[in-house]
Structure formats: structure tokens, C-alpha cells
Amino acid sequence: MKIVNGIFIVILFVTAGCGEREKDNGGFITVDITKNYPKKEMILQDFMSVEYVPLETNDEFICQGIVLAVGKDVMLVKNEINDGNIYVFDRNGKGLRIINRRGQGGDEYNYISEILLDEENNEMFINKFEKLLVYDLYGNFKRSLPYKEGSYYSNFTEFDRKYIICKDNSFEGVTDRSPFVVLSKQDGSIIKEIPMIIQQKIETVKKISHNGFTVFSYSSYFPALSITHCHESCLLTVYSCDTVYRYFPDHSMTPFMVRTPSLESNNTISFLSPGILTERYYFFQKEKSEPEVKGTTPEDATVFYPKNYLMYDIQEKKIYENTVYNDDYSNKMTVEMIRKGCNDEIVFWQKIEAYELVEAYRKGQLKGKLKDVAEKLDEESNPVIMLVKYKSWQRY
């Protein structure tokens, strides 16, 4: 039986934006998760700049194109398989070197889940569950940053030149843990613990009767956490709270967006999960708390949670149910806007398989810059990385 083990957590983050502008309700935006919103279609290129980077393919550089980090000069890429390879490409997609420090030693990693890139200091930080391993961009080990005892950190985001902000996945709403911490890049010491309190716990198993049989939806409940980098600040969410906060370099924190009805008052809950932040639009999704089932037999049953993709327009101060299309496709190819933001230059990246582009090119479904890239590919080429960037950063 196929069961989608959706992380059934209280996701009530509404993607909060980052410019100076008028806000509703005395300083924050309120989102009613029970409302149905008008529909709006959008073209990605109307509000974002799009760049396509074909990853160089040769006998040495053959990879599956899982992007870990993008900087001004380099991209760090890995394979889906756990082979330990880190492919270093320049921003034009030329292969520079392959790093592999996989192993069981204290200065080696056994798996790569995420990498924080610090180009200014020629460093990359790799999560080893109980510590961060720091290497230079040639793979030379420099130091390790141990975690607080009993903690497991992830979602590493650059806070400023000296500090990293991350989430502590051992947080369960208890008083002796903080969901977010600010760490020193140099020695891993905790500069600041950021306390929050969860509001409501959610059942972890759903029993569903469907078509004469019963299926179960299992979830890993914990108060899920999110960090979104946003020009000179970070947006912090404990998904089992009603409010998303904006955290500033001086360690002050203010409410940024609030959901209504409150979790404590709403029996039928729809969760809001974060997406992309732009200078004008905030993208997020509404996900129903009650799962549905597809399939006619227990063997082909699939459990899913219905979703609606939403967007808040800062100028209009309105929320829409929206669909975004990539204008370099003639057949209305949608773009997934529900993903983590990256840095001050790159809003997000997306892998496009070469064989898919070759097929679309043969069918005459491509135009513009993407058509020019696909023309030079074959089905065995490495993936193409779509980099989506800010056109500008206006303040509303």
C-alpha cells in the first residue's frame, strides 16, 4: 500500500515578506484560513528574472543534479544516491572539481543532507547530526562545530558574516529547549537561544474508511520549524503557533503574520506552509488537515492532503489562489512556488532533467532562453538548473 506520510504538523506559517510597507492590524498581516480566495494566473518572468545553467557533462562530471547551494561564483551539487560526492560547478555550469570526504572519521561525513555555503570565507558547512563539519571549497577539513548536548540542528541559514541561525529539531515545546538558535561560525558556540511556546498538539495517526477498507495515515508529529532568509532578517515559524515572526540582526523579534481562526478555536484545521518571498508577492499553500484517499483497493490506495496554492499581493493587500507559469514553455508549464528561499540574489532553484527538455524541444514546446539551451543537449546530458532571481528589491 502506498501511503503518503505527509508531515502532519501544524503548519501555520504564512509566507511573510520583507520590505518596508504598510501592514494591516497594527503591524502584521492577518490571514483567514477558512476563506476561499479568487483565482489568479501569473507568469514567472513578469516578476522574476530566470537563468538556465546546463551542468557540464563529461566522463568525470556525470551527476544527478541535486543542488545544495548556489553562490556568486560556484554551485554545489550532489547525487540522489549516497556516494558522498560534492560536485563544484562555476555559475556557468563548468565542472571545477569533485569533493568526497565520506567516511566514519571525525572529520568525515556519512551522508549529505544540506550544505551551508560561505563563499566570502571559502567555506562550506556540512551537517553531521551531532556537529557541523567545516571544509574549504577544495574539501580540506578546517574544524568542527559541536551541537548542544541532546540537540539536533538543521535548516542552517546564514544570519550574517559571523553567525548562523538554525532550528533545533529536539524542541518539543518544553521549557528547557528553544526552537531556534544562533551559532558562531567559528566555534559553534550559542550566541542566542530564541524561545517560543507551542499552542496545540495534533494527533499523529489518522484512521480512514474508504471504499470498504481502512487505511492509516501516519505522521511524525513534532513542532515543525521553519527559517526563511529575508534581506537583512529571517522569518521564524513554529508551525504549532498562530504567528510568524521576523527576527532582526540586533536579535529583536516582531510579529509579522497571524493566522485566524486560532488553532485553539478551530476544530477543522487547514495548515499554511511557506513558499517563495518576493518584493511584492508572498507565496504559500493551504493544506487541509483531514486526509483523502485515492485508489480502489488497499494495494493501490494513496493517502493525500488536499492543497490550495495561495499568494498575497503586498500592493493590493489581497490574497489569491494562484497558478504560476514558466513563459519559456508554450504548453503552460507550472512552476512550484512552495519551496524554501535561498539568499539575497537567488530566490530559488529548480532542476530540469535533460531528457525532459530534449523531448519538449522535439515537440516544439520550448521558446526563448530555454529553447536555446535545450537545442545543445542530448538525453544523457546532466540536468539544467533553473535559477530564479530577484529583478529588483523594491520596498512597499
213 vs 100, higher pLDDT:
100
* Residue 208 pLDDT level (bands cut at 50, 70, 90): confident
Given this model, what pLDDT does residue 269 score? 65
Given this model, what pLDDT does residue 230 score? 74
- Average pLDDT in the 29-43 region? 90
Residue 19 lies in a domain: no
- Average pLDDT in the 355-383 region? 96
41-46: which pairs have CB atoms within 8 A and are 24 or more residues apart?
Answer: 41/322, 41/323, 41/324, 41/325, 42/311, 42/322, 42/323, 42/324, 42/325, 43/324, 43/325, 43/327, 44/324, 44/325, 44/326, 44/327, 44/335, 44/388, 45/326, 45/327, 45/328, 46/327
120 vs 239, higher pLDDT:
120
Q: Which domain holds residue 316?
A: 29-390
Percent of the chain with pLDDT over 90: 53
Given this model, what pLDDT does residue 11 score? 30
Given this model, what pLDDT does residue 395 score? 42
Residue 13 lies in a domain: no
Residue 5 lies in a domain: no
Given this model, what pLDDT does residue 240 score? 74
Residue 304 corresponds to which cell in the numbers above? 493525500
* Residue 228 pLDDT level (bands cut at 50, 70, 90): confident
Given this model, what pLDDT does residue 48 score? 94
Query: Where do we find the cell 487547514?
Result: 270
Given this model, what pLDDT does residue 93 score? 97
Residue 21 lies in a domain: no
Per mean pLDDT, which range of 148-157, 226-235, 373-382 is the poorest? Answer: 226-235
* Residue 218 pLDDT level (bands cut at 50, 70, 90): low
- Average pLDDT in the 374-388 region? 96
- Average pLDDT in the 320-332 region? 95
- Average pLDDT in the 116-125 region? 96
The answer, yes or no, to whether residue 3 has pLDDT greater than 60, is no
* Residue 266 pLDDT level (bands cut at 50, 70, 90): low
SS3 149: coil
Residue 18 lies in a domain: no
3-state secondary structure 323-367: EEEECCECCCEECCCCCCCCCCCEEEEEEECHHHHHHHHHCCCEC
Among 25-29, 69-73, 216-220, the range with the most confident prediction by mean pLDDT is: 69-73
Q: What is the pLDDT of residues 158-201, one digit of tens each?
A: 998 899 999 998 887 665 678 999 999 999 999 999 988 766 65
| Count: domains in the chain | 1
Given this model, what pLDDT does residue 78 score? 97
Residue 4 lies in a domain: no
Q: What is the pLDDT of residues 125-142, one digit of tens each?
A: 999 988 999 999 999 999
pTM: 0.84
Give the CATH number, domain containing residue 99. 2.130.10
Residue 65 lies in a domain: yes
Neighbours of 252 (CB within 10 A): 9
Residue 396 lies in a domain: no
Rounded to the nearest integer, the mean pLDDT of the chain is 84
169 vs 207, higher pLDDT:
169
Residue 378 corresponds to which cell in the numbers above? 542530448
- Average pLDDT in the 317-340 region? 92
